[in-house]
Structure 1
Amino acid sequence: MRRARVHFGSIRQRRGFVYDTDSESDDYECMDDSKDEKDNTNTPVPGKRGVGEDDEEYAADYIDEYNNEFEGYLLNQDVADYAENDEDKRKFISYVNMSLDTGLTENYDCRHVVVARWTQIDQTAALINAKAIVNFFETVGYRLGQKNRIGFSLSSNGPEQYIILPMISVDEAKRICNDSETKGFGLNSTIIHINPLIGVNGIRLQDGNDFLRVSQECFNNSEMMDLFVISVRLELPERLKVIENGLNLIKRGISELVDNASCETFGSFSSKVRRTGFSDIDINVESVRKPGQQMPSPRPLKQILAYPKCITDHPLTKAELESYPQEETVKILFHCFNDNPVFKNKFRIRFVPARTPILIFNTITNDGMNVSYDISICNQRGVDKADLLDEFIIKDRSEDNKMKNAMLFIVHWARTNKLLPGAYSDEKLEPKTNLNSYIFNQLIIHFVQAAADKIFIHPQARLGARVDDYNFDTLFGDYVKFLSDFFKYYASFDFTTKAIYGKQAMQKTTLANVHGAKVTPLMMMDPMDCTHNISAKVTEEAMKQLNGLIRNTLFIVSHYFSQLFCTSAGFQLKQKQFRLNLLLETNETAVAIMKNRESKISVTAKMLAGTEKHYMSVQLPDVIETSNDLMLLLTRILRFDVSPNYQGPSVYDLYNTGGVVFCVQSKSWIGRRKKKHQMKSARSDLTPLQLDVICSDTYQYEDQMVAEIRVVMGNAPKTTWKFAYIEMMHGQVSDVRDAMHYLMDQFVFNNIEELSHNGIQSIAKIPTAESMES
């Protein structure tokens, strides 16, 4: 069985980079011992050739400029500036990916970059723009770095504004941030707040979102993912030093309380593929038996509980550590640490009586640094769970191991959309959702197995053989397809009645009867412990929030991917400037799209013979190609019926100048969710499009007519746009507007891929609800 003891050399992972001191500041020099080592031949050094692989040698040519001008990559600067062709860019990105596992902070130092924020409350006052901010700071004596690397908010209309500034040095960045905290800045009665881009707990959630936003025009989605991963994994050397000192102190304390103590770090902090700039440190404590060592009988537990501090003189033995209930053992350790002034002055210590009881040490610092050490006892199962996640990522055989980045992105998506808390005090959640990153990682693992229709996970196998090889590129192709399929899968997943059990989705009641698990809003059994519902404490409100975010995410994707185009490989999504970072602010992006799309349905009024007449124009999506397409949607989906008052040709043609007159006899666009849920529970074999269509069939015509309208279809002159023009003959214009809004912005966009691939007329082939019942 694997045992990885703690070695702090592996935590800091110095690469020996020395930043170019020919720049205006000397603050970029890497002050670590590794640069004094003689055997450093395999490490590329700026300005020199390494003797490693060809890609590393090639990338070394660019590292000098890359290190000194980090924002050259990250702030509105394309990687292509450093590479002459696509092959050069591929090699450069390959080196970036390799570097994530070693020396990340030193390779991509951006400690000199700060973020300035202000709120433009009074829109009538003089607007503060990026240029005014720059001039202001230079006027009062602060030295900025390269101005062509400045990033700023893309819209000046909203009240919340920001600018990302590279300062001339790390010291200058610290000075302006400290002055902002202690003195404050104001311009035109507007308060300006400044903080470092990478803080003591990594990058802030909002800073990260804005950081990616100002870069989105310069990168494709693959490069945006690389940029995202770099930003969330950066951590300050000061934080690493605090972690190292705290871990050493905790280890020494445990060694005095547990005989032959072994402290094994596990979880995301120890992972080369899941670690971020704010990862907690998980520690598993065990007692290692030395060869020939006698195993004394355990002392009575009551004796130790009566006086826990007795273990300072007579530490807990291996037999005691393994025989006592974990909760009691952790309580004993808690009393000893909590009574020790050395630990009380450096940590906030608390006991958490979870399924696996833990002792949490939180660092006490003046700068808001949040470092958490989670101590558990004989928790090999926890170590195995962490190893399973790492192995699942490592077994991805795609180019650049895309699953690593995809899993980091999904978890971060949950943080930025307030399903998971952030690392800073103002990023905590109230009320708590009780979701965690392990749940989201398991959601991904289940989805990948379901998408491949194959079991990849074998929990009972030995370490290294618990996950089968798979290929992200083969299954999904790229990040956008993966994210689209992931959210589509869970949008159609019935969380109300179904539970996740490995690759399978099973009835909750079945699992409750077999394993005795409590039925909860989200029910997911742990692959490493099939009797444990890892989501048992997730709240109903959290599930509503998750489902809403999933729907809005799909809405964003459908908006940007509203067309497909045919290639030799088949139909592919046509991207309309979609960038992955748009999903990190899902609700805000969805609302902005909705507001922008409302203008596609316009209503006008005219006075004719003393009577006010209302007319409506509806811009049709490209997937609606002919008048027959629109006719089918109106009659099958909205249940419009050709009016007996219609005097036109016997063959209905919306292109004729008189159009077609319809009776609106049922509000088929209202109350669909409950109907769809009932049908989905009864017929799990139906696709989302089939559910939508058959749901429309269940609406009955009403005795009282809702409206009577005339519909004509036409093209806008000199454009490819198609419109439906509607004349209100009787009824409320608001009802018809809501009907068209549902048809275009929900039905068509929610099913855009299938409709684009098979055509609108494929709807006619879907059996009616009546025929299916018979």
Structure 2
Amino acid sequence: MSFESDLINNYDCRHVVVVRWNAGDRSTLVPSPRTIVSFIESVGYKLGNKDRIGYSPTPRHTEQFIILPMTSIEEAKRISADSEKKGFGINSTTIHMNTLIGTNGIRLKDGVDFMKISQEHFNNSEILDLLVITIRLELPERLEIIENGFNLIKRGLSELIENAKCEMFGSFTSKVRRTGFSDIDINVDSVTQPGDRQLNPRHLKQVSAYPKCLVDHPLTKAELTEYPKEETIKLLYRCFIENDVFKNKFEIKYVPARTPLLVFKTISADGLNVSYDVSICNQSGVDKANLLDEFVMKDKSVHNKMKNAMLFVVHWARSNKLLPGAYSDEKLETRTNLNSYIFNQLIIHFVQATADKILVHPQARFGARVDEYNFDTLFTDHTKFLSEFFKYYASFDFSTKAIYGKQAMLKTTMINVHGAKMSPLMMMDPMDCTHNISGNVTEEAVKLLNGLIRNTLFILKQKNFKVNFLLETNQVALSMMTGRESTISVTTKMVEGREVHYMSVQLPMVIETSEDLMLLLTRILRFDVSPNYQGPSSFDLFNTGGVIFCAQAKSWIGRRNKKRQLRSARSDLTPLQLDVMCSDTYQYQDEVVAELRIAMADLKKIKMRFAYIEMLKGQVSDVRDAMHYLMDQFVFNNLDELKKNGGIQSISSIPSADTILPPS
């Protein structure tokens, strides 16, 4: 194997199987997890260390699982094969088993569940190590099939190209990026020998009319260089597609692209999915792959933390359905056109922006293209890296900005200067500044990415954060939000023959005084003291009569475009400054949205603080939405910056949006 064998041996889980069943069938007696384990042992299968059996941490869920160690890899394969061929069941409950590490590496869902039962035993650094080790594991038979397939393709190409040289590159050959499901990238060139006679190339139309002529008269170095690459790939495709040996071994297709590909996909009865992507004279592709490896290896931190960081971010994208998985049931319902190279380049840009230094020099020779840097110095640990990475891209304006090396530049500049293709996500290839590597990424994909970034950042802010939570970002974030939302209760009373609605709102601890809440209501929600208010001229929410407010702008909805406009005008604004100034941009409506009386309980001896609201006019739903935004989004998302700056009152020092936006 091409990675750390000692580490792999210590945490090898190729002898582990995943047992799954549906516990939602109420028409039969569903067996308990321990009954299933006893059944497996009773029918002759040898279990490994029973102390390491992992049970689903959510026993009430319909989909149940067990992580079950067997005595050996062979025993794990035996029970999985029997499950596939014979089937297992108790009563009417079907039980399915498969090896944790399959022919195409670990399945995405199995990886999520394996981490769930591991999270209580490891800290975040150890969980990340375990996850990365697991996704890099591969079965020996896969390696054997890959080697045989490569040798066959190499022989076939050698018959069609004179002095053919086939070179593997990409993640499969990488010591730092290879996983258990890496595809095989192959670059083909023709190597001239000293004294070789160089013949004039044949006319392309002549060869295209009868591609089989290449069997007797292979493509020469001159022809390989002179013919358009897409035409050369088409010629090779037409030869291979008529060869019975290759037709029986592979699905073969021609993929037109900036770098045209001839793709050989293994045909396997056991579901093995290996793709060989053949390109012609593709030194730039080799250089791009080498650049990624060099960037990882130039990190001088303890244990080279950048390696795990890159592998994790790509796996995060795969687990959250931004990238497809290796198994047939892990394909995307809607293509995003994102790829691992794009995510690696997002990381490289972010690291350079954080270091405030150009680290990558694409035109330099191999080995000198990346300056040394230290992950520990920049980020300390992986949790800090992930927090800063997702925080950076949460505030990145993908609609107007393009990524170009260390710089974030206006898209219009890249189009006008470099002739780049406009796209929802715009990122220039460091090896070719005219190529937008994300040119085909869909607008829907960018929306999905933005949503996942925000939810990931939300999870990272939780005290009980575990790194494996990010493998199910949207589901975990939704669960956390449901359990964390401020307690807002609404009651209704009859007063003088009419219904009056009252609301109590639990306040976050950072809101300490009447002045704090007053500032949030007036600056962030744009509430104004009502002309109907007849209380003291010095507004005090601790006053038993409270203060009457008018809401004349729904400043809690439609904020994204306004923030984008502010960010375009001032790219140096912090997230807190953006949020505060965004509220400034809302114009008052002629019609009052709501009128309400608000008081704050002055209970200094009680930790929990509440605001009490009496609805005088308007819809309860509007005011409830406003309070949810204020407490659960504005305060929560900016909590770190508020605490760092001295509390809620630091908002008052933020200038108005009028100072940076042109008059409308």
> Given the two structures, how large is their TM-score scaled by the length of structure 1?
0.81
Structure 1 distance, partners of 2:267, 2:349, is 39
Query: Using the alignment, how far apart are the partners of 2:27 and 2:522 within structure 1?
Result: 50
CA offset at residue 540 of structure 1?
1.4
Match of 1:630 in 2: 517
Matches within 5 A, 1:185-204: 185-204=88-107
Residue 401 (structure 2) aligns with:
498
Which of 539, 548, 561 is matched with 1:652 structurally? 539
Deviations 1:182-224 (A, max 9, x none): 2323345333221110000000011111111211122111111
- The 2-side partners of 1:715 and 1:124 are apart by 56
Q: Specify the SS of the correspondent of 1:535.
A: coil
User: Does 2:139 align with 1:251?
Assistant: no
CA apart distance, 1:644: 4.1
Equivalent residue runs for 1:148-187 within 5 Å: 148-187=51-90
Give the alignment partner of residue 594 of structure 1, picking from 466, 481, 500: 481
1:28 matched residue in structure 2 = none
CA distance in structure 2 between the partners assigned to 1:301 and 1:225 by the alignment? 53
Aligned to 1:470: 373
| Distance change (3 Å), C-alpha of 1:115 and 1:525 | same
In structure 2, the residue matched to 1:584 is 471
What corresponds to 1:722 in structure 2?
Answer: 609
Residue 606 (structure 1) shift: 4.0
Measured after TM superposition, the shift of residue 125 of structure 1 is: 6.5
Distance 1:379 1:700 in 2: 56
From 417, 420, 429, the counterpart of 1:526: 429
Q: Which residue of 1 aligns with 2:654?
A: 766
Q: 1:437 to 1:252 in 2, by over 3 A?
A: same
Q: How does 1:157-306 map to 2 (within 5 A)?
A: 157-306=60-209
Deviations 1:292-329 (A, max 9, x none): 33323323322322222222222222222222221222
Offset at 1:764?
A: 0.2
For 2:385 and 2:64, the matched residues in 1 are separated by 33
Matched AA of 1:493:
F
Q: What's 1:395 paired with?
A: 298
| Counterparts in 2 of 1:127 and 1:625: CA distance versus 1, 3 Å | farther
TM-score by length of 2: 0.94
1:693 alignment partner in structure 2: 580
How far does the alpha carbon of each residue in 1:228-253 deviate from its partner, in whole angstroms, 9 at most, with x for none?
A: 11011000111011111111212222
Asked if 1:352 corresponds to 2:239, the answer is no
Partner of 1:92: none
Structure 1 Cα separation of the partners of residues 498 and 120 of structure 2? 51
CA pair 772-338 structure 1, distance change in 2 beyond 3 A? closer
Range moving further from structure 2, 723-732 or 499-508 = 723-732
Q: Measured at CA, do residues 603 and 111 of structure 1 come closer, stay the same or move farther in structure 2, by a change above 3 Å?
A: same
Residue 416 (structure 1) aligns with: 319
Q: Show CA shifts across 1:266-307 (max 9, x none).
A: 100000000000001111111222233332332332232222
- Deviation, 1:747, is 1.0
Opposite residue 761 of structure 1, the aligned amino acid is Q
Moved more, 397-406 or 549-558: 549-558
The answer for the alignment partner of 2:443 in structure 1 is 540
SS at 1:505 equivalent? strand
Distance in 2 separating the partners of 1:623 and 1:207? 40
- The equivalent of 1:682 in structure 2 is 569
Within 1, Cα distance between the matches of 2:4 and 2:198?
41
Query: How many percent identity over aligned positions?
Result: 71
Q: Tell me the residue number matched to 1:618.
A: 505
Whole-Å separation in 2 of the counterparts to 1:123 and 1:608: 49
Are the aligned partners of 1:556 and 1:590 in contact in 2 as well (CA < 8 Å)? Answer: yes
Contact 2:486–2:628 under 8 Å retained in 1: no
Matches of 1:495 and 1:323 in 2, distance apart? Answer: 39
SS of match in other structure, 2:296: helix
Instruction: Tell me, yes or no, if the aligned pair for 2:504 and 2:611 is still in contact at 8 Å.
Output: yes
Aligned to 1:517: 420
Aligned with 2:360 (options 452, 457, 466):
457
Distance 1:753 1:123 in 2: 47
Distance 1:108 1:685 in 2: 45
**Cα distance, 1:108–1:724 mapped onto 2, change above 3 Å:** same
* In structure 2, C-alpha distance between the alignment counterparts of 1:143 and 1:496, rounded to whole Å: 57
**Contact 2:28 2:92 (C-alpha < 8 Å) held by counterparts:** no
1:176–1:467 distance in 2 versus 1, CA, 3 Å: same
Give 3-state SS (helix, strand or coil) of 1:699's partner.
coil
Q: Give 1:11-22 correspondences, 5 Å limit.
A: 12=1
Aligned match of 1:487: 390
Work out which of the residue numbers 716, 739, 750 in structure 1 matches 2:637: 750
Give the residue type in structure 2 aligned to 1:199.
G
Shift of 1:624: 2.1
**What is the identity, as a one-letter code, of the residue corresponding to 1:404?**
K
* Paired residue type of 1:601: I
Question: What is the CA distance between 1:395 and its match in structure 2?
Answer: 0.7
> SS in structure 2 opposite 1:518?
coil
8 Å contact 2:21–2:93 — kept in the other structure?
yes
* Structure 2 counterpart of 1:712, one-letter code: A
The answer to whether residue 628 in structure 2 is matched with residue 741 in structure 1 is yes
Say if 1:540 and 1:323 are closer, same or farther in 2 by CA, change over 3 A.
same
| SS across alignment from 2:301 | coil
Q: By how many angstroms is 1:695 displaced?
A: 1.8
Contact preservation (8 Å) 2:313, 2:343: yes
With 298-307 and 401-410 compared, the bigger mean Cα shift is at 298-307
Counterpart AA for 1:552? N
Please state how far the C-alpha of 1:408 moved relative to its aligned partner: 0.7
**CA contact under 8 A between 1:114 and 1:165: conserved in structure 2?**
yes
Distance across 1 between alignment mates of 2:120 and 2:603: 31
> 3-state SS of the aligned residue for 1:473?
helix
**Retained in 1: the 8 A contact 2:570–2:660?**
no
Maintained 8 Å contact 1:347/1:363 = yes
Residues 17 and 67, structure 2, Cα contact 8 Å, conserved in 1: yes
2:300 touches 2:373 (CA, 8 Å); kept in 1?
A: yes
Alpha-carbon distance, 1:513 to partner: 1.8
Residues 715 and 721, structure 1, Cα contact 8 Å, conserved in 2 = no
Aligned-pair distance for 1:430?
2.6
User: Aligned partners of 2:198, 2:6: CA distance in 1, in Å?
Assistant: 44
Q: CA RMSD in A?
A: 2.3
User: Within 2, Cα distance between the matches of 1:769 and 1:420?
Assistant: 39
Q: Give unmatched runs, 5+ long, in structure 2.
A: none
Deviates more, 1:592-601 or 1:390-399: 592-601
Match of 2:596 among 709, 717, 730: 709
Which region of structure 1 is more displaced relative to structure 2, 300-309 or 355-364?
A: 300-309
Give the Cα–Cα distance (whole angstroms) in 2 for the partners of residues 608 and 145 of structure 1.
70
2:332 to 425, 429, 440: 429
Q: How many residues align structurally?
A: 661
Change (3 A) 1:125 1:635: farther
Are the aligned partners of 1:280 and 1:372 in contact in 2 as well (CA < 8 Å)? Answer: yes
User: What residue identity is the alignment partner of 1:721?
Assistant: M
Indicate the SS of the match to 2:335.
coil
Deviation (angstroms), 1:107: 5.4
Which one of 135, 138, 143 corresponds to residue 41 of structure 2? Answer: 138
Task: String of CA shifts for 1:488-544, please: whole Å, max 9, x gaps.
Answer: 222222211221111112222222122222211111111101111111111111111
1:67 equivalent in structure 2: none
Counterpart Cα distance in 2 of 1:644 and 1:336 = 85
Aligned AA (1:764): S
Aligned partner of residue 274 in structure 1, secondary structure = coil
Secondary structure of the corresponding residue to residue 421 of structure 1: coil
User: Could you report, residue by residue, the CA deviation over 1:6-46 in whole angstroms, capped at 9, with x for unpaired residues?
Assistant: xxxxxx46xxxxxxxxxxxxxxxxxxxxxxxxxxxxxxxxx
Contact 1:154 1:214 in 2 (8 A): yes
